[in-house]
Amino acid sequence: MQQPPSRASSDVIFSREVALEQCSLDGDHLPGHPDVLLSHDAVDRFVDDEMGTRELDALAPYLWLVTKKASTNVDALHRQGIKQRRITVTEDPKLHLVWTVDRVFIKPIPTCLLSYNFWDRYLSPRTDPVKAQTIYQAPHLPRQVALGFLRSYALLIRHKSDLRIAKAEGLVPDDISWNAWARFIVHFRYIADEEVSTRHHYGQMRLSRLNVATRAKGLLELSPRWGYEATYWSTLPYIIDAAAPVFFLFAGLSLVMSAMQVMLAASDTPRRTSDAYGAVFWNFSIIVVVSSLVAMLLFLLVPAVYILNQHVWGYRHRHGTNATRPTKRGERSV
């Protein structure tokens, strides 16, 4: 098994030689972000705005409803394509690693996180934790947020093909080579959960389940909310999705009622009609009624049992094992 790399002699977990950006911090503003002053307070707020997930961290007691507690539960970028999820770039950190049926939201890496100087000055354990906690409540400290964010990229980009996809989608700078990336990101791959923010104790999450967890939290805390993030931005797609099960049930009930009418008609068949025909119609109608009812029951019961089983499993394993070992090739993730 590959062992985690030894840490640099300083408080930065990677050495200056493997840094991917040579970020100069001699000016008054953060390079690439002229609206961010080079002060600890401003940079702390920048990290929280760009990568903080306060809303998702607050959902932590309910996340067993959403997914298993496994920080390695992140599909690499090429696996996202295999699962027919297209990458959608987002600048909203709460949507990072959230997915729907055909999309996965990923936030690009702020280039300052690739700089040794930036980590050494602003994300070092030497920063005053008391001062930081006047703005942030643990585990929202900027260093923990940044470590968790880059650890997620260690799982997203594991192969050369993943890096090519990341460049094409604008997730990482174009001038990064595979060898340079591999030497840099390996320092974040084996970080323990205790060193990252609560959100990154979990991997990728399904948006529909996050909406359910948000509603459950709102009801229990008497502050109802519609959901974590809107899934429909126009009325027509919502109507189409909502109407499908209604139409299925309507068609099933119509079939049952039609079969019952045939049964009644068969029982009133005149004697001049063959009794054999009446028996066939009667028996066939019974088969149709029973089959339709069974199909509708399975339509409702199978998803309910599946969801219940997932919730029971999630509740039993809500504390998780949280190994920092990356998922091996071929292992399944949810």
Residue 7 maps to a domain = no
E strand or H helix at 37, and its extent?
A: strand 33-37
Looking at residue 302, its pLDDT comes to 76
Looking at residue 233, its pLDDT comes to 63
Residue 11 maps to a domain = no
Looking at residue 285, its pLDDT comes to 73
Pair 96, 147 in one domain: yes
Looking at residue 156, its pLDDT comes to 97
User: Structural domain tally of the chain?
Assistant: 2
- Name the pTM for this structure: 0.74
Looking at residue 1, its pLDDT comes to 47
Question: Which residue stretches of the chain have pLDDT < 50?
Answer: 1, 6-10, 132-139, 323-334
Pair 122, 203 in one domain: yes
For the stretch 239-252, pLDDT in tens is 666 667 777 777 77
Residue 146 maps to a domain = yes
Nearest to 326 by CA among 193, 158, 198: 158
Pair 209, 296 in one domain: no
Looking at residue 29, its pLDDT comes to 84
Looking at residue 271, its pLDDT comes to 55
The pair of structure tokens assigned to 103 is: 């999309």
Sole residue written with tokens 């050494």: 120
For the stretch 9-28, pLDDT in tens is 446 778 888 888 877 777 78
Looking at residue 333, its pLDDT comes to 42
Task: Give the residue from 188, 208, 228 where a domain finishes.
Answer: 228
Looking at residue 149, its pLDDT comes to 96
Do the Cβ atoms of 21 and 30 come closer than 8 Å? no
CA distance linking residue 290 with residue 285, whole number of Å: 9
Pair 200, 174 in one domain: yes
Side-chain-side CA neighbours of 82 within 13 Å: the count stands at: 10
Pair 247, 286 in one domain: yes
Pair 94, 165 in one domain: yes
Pair 183, 49 in one domain: yes
Q: Could you list the residue range(s) of the whole structural domain that residue 64 is in?
A: 16-228
Pair 311, 223 in one domain: no
Looking at residue 67, its pLDDT comes to 80
Residue 321 maps to a domain = no
E strand or H helix at 334, and its extent?
A: none
Pair 207, 296 in one domain: no
